[in-house]
Structure 1
C-alpha cells in the first residue's frame, strides 16, 4: 500500500483524502529492461521526477507487459510520458530500416530516428511492435548465420535401444516413476527418441564421458536422465519437469560437454562461452558449479558468476576465457550490459529452476538475455512445476520443445517424506519451545533444516539456539556471501546438523542425509511448501517434515489438504475445519456489497 500525506481542505478547515488513481499501460516486453534500468535506476528516476508510483507487473502475454502507475492524475501523466519517451527510443529495427551510411542525406529529417546504426521512420504513438521484433529477429538470425553453423545433433542410437519395441519402451517409462514424454506445443510425437536404460546406450561414442561417470560411481541413469540424454544429444529443445534431487543437473550437463567440443569453431577461437546455465540463487549456481567440476572432459572450463562477491575477479576470469558460465540473472545482466560478458558464441542455454526464477521476479532479465543470444541455440528448461508463467516463457524462446516429466504435473510432495502438521498458537516463543523439544530428541544421525518466513526470524531462532549452547548455522539474503557458503559447507559436511534458513534454501540445494525439515513459519504459498518438504527424502532415502500451523495460516488449509491426502498423510481435523471456515468467510465477504472508504475500518490516507 502506498500511503501518502493528507492534503489540507481550505474550505472545510480539516484534512481530506486527495484524489489518487491507478492506470495500466502496455509496454513491449523486450523493452522492460530499459524501463527498469540497471539495478532499478531508471524506474526510480521516473518515480522521482513524476511523483507517481510505477510497478512493472509480471502480467505478460509474451509481446506486451503491463505497467501499473498509481498517484495523482497529473503525476500519472508525467510518469506515462516518461515511459513512452523511453520506449519510443526504439532499440530494435523497424520494417523500413536502412543502414545509416546509405542515407546520410536524411540525417536532419524530423521523421527519421537512428537506432543502433540503422535508420527508421518515427511514427506518432503508432509502432507496430510485432513487426519491429519480427524484423529484428530476422536480422539477428542473418547476423548469427553469417558467423558460424551450430552443430546440435551428436546422437547415434545404440543397437540395443533400436531393438526396443514400443511396448517395452512404454513399460520402462511406466516402471520408472511414470515418465511422460511429448511435444508440448504440437501433436506430433512420433519422432521422440527412445529412452536409454544404461549409460552406455547414451554415451557409447564417448568413452571419456563413460569413464567420468564410472569415477563418480553411479549405477544407472535416473528416470529424467534416461529420457533426457537421447533428446538433448539429438539437438532438441527440452523442458524437464521433475522434483528436485532427481538428477536434472547431470541430465543437461553431459550433453552440454559434448556440445561444446563438437562445434565447428575451435574453442580457442571463440570469443566467449558456449554454454550458459542460469540459476535463481547463488547457492544453486554454486551447487551446479560443484557438479560441473566433478566431470573432466577435453579440458572444458567453467565459471560461476553471482552477486555479493568481487565483481572484478569475475570480469578477469571471463576475459581469460571459459566454456561454461553458470550465472544468477542479476549479475549476468550487469556484466553483459557493461560489455564484459560476450554472449555471441553461446549456443546452449539452460534455464534451471525456471519456475523459481519467475517467482523471484527475474522474468525481465531472462527475456533480455534470451533475446540477445543466438536464436539458433539449443535451449533447455528445468522446473519442478508447470505454471502458466513457465509455459509462456517456453512458448517465447523454445522451438517445438519436448517435455519430459517424471511423476505428475499436478503439485505433489514426494512420497518418501512423512508430513506432520502441528497446530499451535501464533507465537514465536511457543514455536521456539516446540523446536527446542525436537532438538533435545535429535540423534547423532539427524540433520535438519528449520525454515523461517523472515530473515529477522531466522536470526532470532539462531540466536536463541546459540544462547542455549546448541550449535547451528543460518542462511538468508542479508548474510555475506562468504558466510552463506560457509553455512552450506558446514551442514553438507556434517560439522553442524542444524541449518536455520529462509526460502533461499528451499529449491535446488542437494544436502546429503537431511533427515528432517521443520517449517517454523508456514510458507507463503503451497508450491513453496512442496519444495521445502522436498529437501529431505531424496535419492531413495526417507525423511520427515514437521510444520507449525497457526490460525493465521488458515488460508493455506484448503490447498494443503490434497497435498497431504495424495501422499497418504494424516490430516488433522482442525485443518479440515479451518478450510471450511475460511471458505465460508470468503463467501460471506463476496456476498456483501462494497463498503465506503470513510469512517473506521476504511483506508487511511
Structure 2
C-alpha cells in the first residue's frame, strides 16, 4: 500500500496516481491533503516544483466525487484561479489525468481565446473551472457563469494575485461565490500583503509550510555575474555556446527586450523563441510546446512565464535582467530543478541593478560576492577565490545537458515520481559550504 492510499483518497484517484507513476506524496502533499480532506481552509507555502498542484487538487477531487448530481447549466462546483494563461493550462494538465476515472470534467477559461466558445462550454455546467480572473469577470458580466454554486475555491500563486490589479478582480469575484465553501491559498512566497489577503478569504485555516517563505530550492545552483549592461549580450552568447542543446530559459524585464533578444539569437542560428504579453495565446502555447519538445532550446520570456512553465527538462535559468520584485526571482529560478532534479540559475547584475540584487539577497537570506566587496563569507566555495563569480554552465567542470535526463510526468506532479527521489546525482553547492540537502520531492 502506497502512502497516497494511506491518505484516504478515493480508489479512482489512487488508480490515476498509480497510472501516472506517482508513488509517494511530497511533503506539502502529505501535510496538506489530510487537513483539506477534513474540509479545513488551507494556506500552503512551499518551494516551486514541490507538488502544490496535487496538494490542493487531490482532496478537492475526492470531495467532489462524494457529491451527487451533475452541475446545473452555467454553474461551477470548484473554481481554481491563477494569474497567467500558462499557469491555468498547466494546472488543467495536472488535473485531467487525476479525474479520468471519475465523472468530473475540467474546463479552462483564459483570455486570448474565443469567448463565444467558452460561453457555450459553460452553458453545460462545470465541475472544475480553472480560470484567469480577467476572463472570468468578462464571462460574469455577460451572464455566462453562475458562481453561487462554487463550494471550493483555490488561489494558486496567491501572492501574484496581489499584483497587476488582481486583488480588485478577486474583490469582484468573491461575493459571487457560494457559502459555505472551502478555500485554499497556495504560494511559494509570502509577502506581507498575502497575510491580509488570507485573512480576508480564509476561515480558521491550517497553515502548511514546508520551507521558509522565499526560500529557493536547494537543488538550484545559483550564481551572479557582475558586469556592465553593455556586456550582457556577449556573456549570454558565451554561456549558451558552451552547451547549445540544453534547455535554457532566459528572463528579460520587458516584452520588447525579450522579443529583440529572441530575434538576435535566431539570426545567429540559435533555436530560440519567446513568450511575453505581446504574443497571442496560440503563439505562446506553440513556443512552450516546442521548448518542452526540445525543438526550441532557448526560450526568452518575461515574468509571464515565471510561474507558468513546468518542464522538468529545463537545466538552466538565466536572469538577463534582474526582476523589479524580489519574489519574482524565487519563481524564475524555480523553473529549473523541478521534480527532484537539480539545475543552474545564473543572474546578470549590472551596476544599476545592485539595489535589485540587495532586495533579492534580503529575501533569500544569502549574499553573492563580487570585486566591489559583497560579503559572501557564508557561502564562498572552499578553495574558490572571493569576488570571482562562477558562471560556467554545468557543474564540477563538466557540461550538463537536458538530454538524457529522466522527464517527470504530469507537470508539477512529476515531483512524486520514483518515490520523490532526485532524478540526477546530488551536487555540492557552488556557493555554499558542504553538501546541499536533498530537494523536497
TM-score relative to the length of structure 2: 0.81
After superposition, what is the alpha-carbon deviation per residue over 1:57-79, rounded to whole angstroms, capped at 9, x for unaligned? xxxxxxxxxxxxxxxxxxxxxxx
Aligned mates of 2:312, 2:172 — CA distance in 1: 36
- What pairs up with 1:187-206 in 2 under 5 angstroms? 198-203=3-8, 206=10
Q: Does 1:432 align with 2:211?
A: no
Question: How far did 1:565 drift?
Answer: 6.0
Could you tell me whether the CA contact under 8 Å between 2:74 and 2:126 is conserved in 1? no
After superposition, what is the alpha-carbon deviation per residue over 1:5-28, rounded to whole angstroms, capped at 9, x for unaligned? xxxxxxxxxxxxxxxxxxxxxxxx
1:467–1:269 distance in 2 versus 1, CA, 3 Å: closer
Higher relative contact order (CA 8 A, sep 6+): 2
Aligned residues: 375
Could you tell me whether the CA contact under 8 Å between 1:565 and 1:571 is conserved in 2? no
1:386–1:562 distance in 2 versus 1, CA, 3 Å: closer
Could you tell me whether the CA contact under 8 Å between 2:47 and 2:215 is conserved in 1? no
1:518–1:269 distance in 2 versus 1, CA, 3 Å: closer
* Larger Rg over CA atoms: 1
1:431–1:268 distance in 2 versus 1, CA, 3 Å: closer
Q: Does 1:314 align with 2:118?
A: yes
- What pairs up with 1:104-123 in 2 under 5 angstroms? none
Secondary structure, in 3 states, of the residue corresponding to 2:359? helix
Q: Does 1:558 align with 2:363?
A: no
Question: When you count helix as a share of all residues, which structure comes out higher?
Answer: 1
Aligned mates of 1:498, 1:557 — CA distance in 2: 24
Aligned mates of 1:414, 1:454 — CA distance in 2: 26
2:108 aligns with 304
Could you tell me whether the CA contact under 8 Å between 2:76 and 2:150 is conserved in 1? yes
Q: Does 1:571 align with 2:369?
A: yes
2:160 aligns with 356
After superposition, what is the alpha-carbon deviation per residue over 1:357-415, rounded to whole angstroms, capped at 9, x for unaligned? 21232001112211211131110111112222211111112110111011113x22222
1:465 aligns with 265
Aligned mates of 1:252, 1:436 — CA distance in 2: 40
Q: Does 1:224 align with 2:25?
A: no
Q: Does 1:549 align with 2:349?
A: yes
Aligned mates of 2:226, 2:254 — CA distance in 1: 20
Question: How far did 1:443 drift?
Answer: 4.8
Question: How far did 1:558 drift?
Answer: 2.8
1:565–1:392 distance in 2 versus 1, CA, 3 Å: closer
Question: How far did 1:321 drift?
Answer: 2.2
Q: Does 1:211 align with 2:11?
A: no
1:572–1:516 distance in 2 versus 1, CA, 3 Å: same
Aligned mates of 1:450, 1:389 — CA distance in 2: 29
Provide the aligned C-alpha RMSD in A: 2.0
1:412 aligns with 215
1:476–1:223 distance in 2 versus 1, CA, 3 Å: same
Secondary structure, in 3 states, of the residue corresponding to 2:270? coil
Aligned mates of 1:404, 1:352 — CA distance in 2: 14
Could you tell me whether the CA contact under 8 Å between 1:564 and 1:571 is conserved in 2? no
Q: Does 1:479 align with 2:282?
A: no
Aligned mates of 1:291, 1:238 — CA distance in 2: 20
Question: How far did 1:232 drift?
Answer: 0.7
Aligned mates of 2:29, 2:357 — CA distance in 1: 35
Aligned mates of 2:72, 2:265 — CA distance in 1: 55
Aligned mates of 2:323, 2:358 — CA distance in 1: 14
Question: How far did 1:350 drift?
Answer: 0.4
Structure 2 unpaired stretches of 5+: 376-441
1:495 aligns with 295
Could you tell me whether the CA contact under 8 Å between 2:74 and 2:124 is conserved in 1? no
Could you tell me whether the CA contact under 8 Å between 2:75 and 2:149 is conserved in 1? yes
After superposition, what is the alpha-carbon deviation per residue over 1:330-378, rounded to whole angstroms, capped at 9, x for unaligned? 0001101211011121100101111012123200111221121113111
Say which of 235, 251, 273 aligns to 1:451.
251
Question: How far did 1:539 drift?
Answer: 1.8
Question: How far did 1:424 drift?
Answer: 1.1
1:392–1:274 distance in 2 versus 1, CA, 3 Å: same
1:293 aligns with 96
Secondary structure, in 3 states, of the residue corresponding to 2:126? coil
After superposition, what is the alpha-carbon deviation per residue over 1:443-494, rounded to whole angstroms, capped at 9, x for unaligned? 53x1100100111111111111111121111000000110000011111122
After superposition, what is the alpha-carbon deviation per residue over 1:79-102, rounded to whole angstroms, capped at 9, x for unaligned? xxxxxxxxxxxxxxxxxxxxxxxx
1:230–1:367 distance in 2 versus 1, CA, 3 Å: same
1:378–1:575 distance in 2 versus 1, CA, 3 Å: farther
Q: Does 1:528 align with 2:331?
A: no
Say which of 500, 514, 519 aligns to 2:314.
514
Question: How far did 1:318 drift?
Answer: 0.5
Aligned mates of 2:356, 2:371 — CA distance in 1: 15
Say which is worse superposed, 552-561 or 332-341, in terms of deviation: 552-561
Question: How far did 1:497 drift?
Answer: 1.1
Question: How far did 1:575 drift?
Answer: 5.9
Q: Does 1:539 align with 2:339?
A: yes
Question: How far did 1:244 drift?
Answer: 1.4
Say which of 36, 45, 54 aligns to 1:250.
54
Could you tell me whether the CA contact under 8 Å between 2:312 and 2:337 is conserved in 1? no
TM-score relative to the length of structure 1: 0.60
Could you tell me whether the CA contact under 8 Å between 2:48 and 2:217 is conserved in 1? no
After superposition, what is the alpha-carbon deviation per residue over 1:192-235, rounded to whole angstroms, capped at 9, x for unaligned? xxxxx81111136x211111110000121000000111111101
Structure 1 unpaired stretches of 5+: 1-159, 161-196, 578-605
Could you tell me whether the CA contact under 8 Å between 1:417 and 1:542 is conserved in 2? yes
